Amino acid sequence: MNNLNEKRILITGASRGIGEAIARHFAKLGFFTILVARTEIDLARVKREIINSGGKADYVVSDLSSEEEANNLSQKVTLNFGFVEYIVLNAGISTNSVFLSQTNSNFQQELWVNYLAPLLFLKNILNEMVEKKQGKIVTISSIAGLLPFPGNSTYAASKAALISLSITMNIEFKKHNIYIGSVLPGLTKTSMTKDYESFVLPFSEPEEIARCVEEAFQYEKTIVIPGIFNNVITTLYKHFPEPLNILLSSLTSIFIPSPATK
């Protein structure tokens, strides 16, 4: 069991990409980091590297596309680490395929990992947070939850659901001294966006998203959108959706990069 005064943070999807960067960032800030993902070999590598740089880390292997495992995660975490005050619900997948090419199994996996597993996890941990009047949660959604993302309609919908859940729950749980915010990255350099590498659009580095998560926790911001370009485009879309819809329709082929996904 950890030192009870030590701040603990749980990060889902911490085996690579944005989640790994968040874990490294918070380990540097002195947090005990609890890493969650499916791939043990990657989790063990991140844990080892954090410890080798003087930080503290451990991991839990969990497949958040399975209802049973998503439901059990909170129990496993409490059993192994006790109460965890800081939570980052980052794990996510994008099937990156047009609507009619998707299978029912694709739809369900995406919805589970991106929306239902975070929802279930929150349902399981919030009672203890309410009792303790203590808890800080950040979800990693996407600007795709606010903008059309051609070729990724079901991903965008799952991310929109996560934003709605976070902003409404933040209001509901404020009276219990619990904060729930959401960070909405745009394109970020990770394995998720390898099909988009040739895009001329600006990409964020995963470390920038990690800094935004710290900012969200520090100032208890409801929504943080990393990067000037992503802020400009989401503001423009909010005020002038129709011209941007026309522009995006003409660019659809660019957003669906691989012939295999058409």
Ligand X SMILES: NC(=O)c1ccc[n+]([C@@H]2O[C@H](COP(=O)([O-])OP(=O)(O)OC[C@H]3O[C@@H](n4cnc5c(N)ncnc54)[C@H](OP(=O)(O)O)[C@@H]3O)[C@@H](O)[C@H]2O)c1
Q: Which long-range contacts (CB under 8 A, 24 or more apart) does 245-253 make?
A: 245/148, 248/148, 248/150, 249/150, 251/150, 252/150, 252/151
| Rounded least distance, CB 170 to ligand X, Å | 18
Judged by CB, which is closer to ligand X: 2, or 193? 193
| Rounded least distance, CB 114 to ligand X, Å | 6
Judged by CB, which is closer to ligand X: 15, or 170? 15
Judged by CB, which is closer to ligand X: 62, or 177? 62
Q: Tokens 């960067």 — which residue? A: 21
| Nearest C-alpha neighbor of 188 from the set 212, 163, 218 | 212
Residues that bind ligand X (CB under 6 A): 13-19, 37-39, 42, 62-65, 90-93, 113, 140, 142, 185, 187-188, 190-193
| Rounded least distance, CB 176 to ligand X, Å | 26
| Nearest C-alpha neighbor of 73 from the set 9, 122, 19, 130 | 122
| Nearest C-alpha neighbor of 188 from the set 147, 157, 244, 229 | 229
| Nearest C-alpha neighbor of 89 from the set 125, 57, 54 | 125
| Rounded least distance, CB 16 to ligand X, Å | 5
Judged by CB, which is closer to ligand X: 134, or 193? 193
Judged by CB, which is closer to ligand X: 140, or 178? 140
| Rounded least distance, CB 232 to ligand X, Å | 16
| Nearest C-alpha neighbor of 135 from the set 82, 180, 167, 77 | 180
Tokens of 159: 């991310």
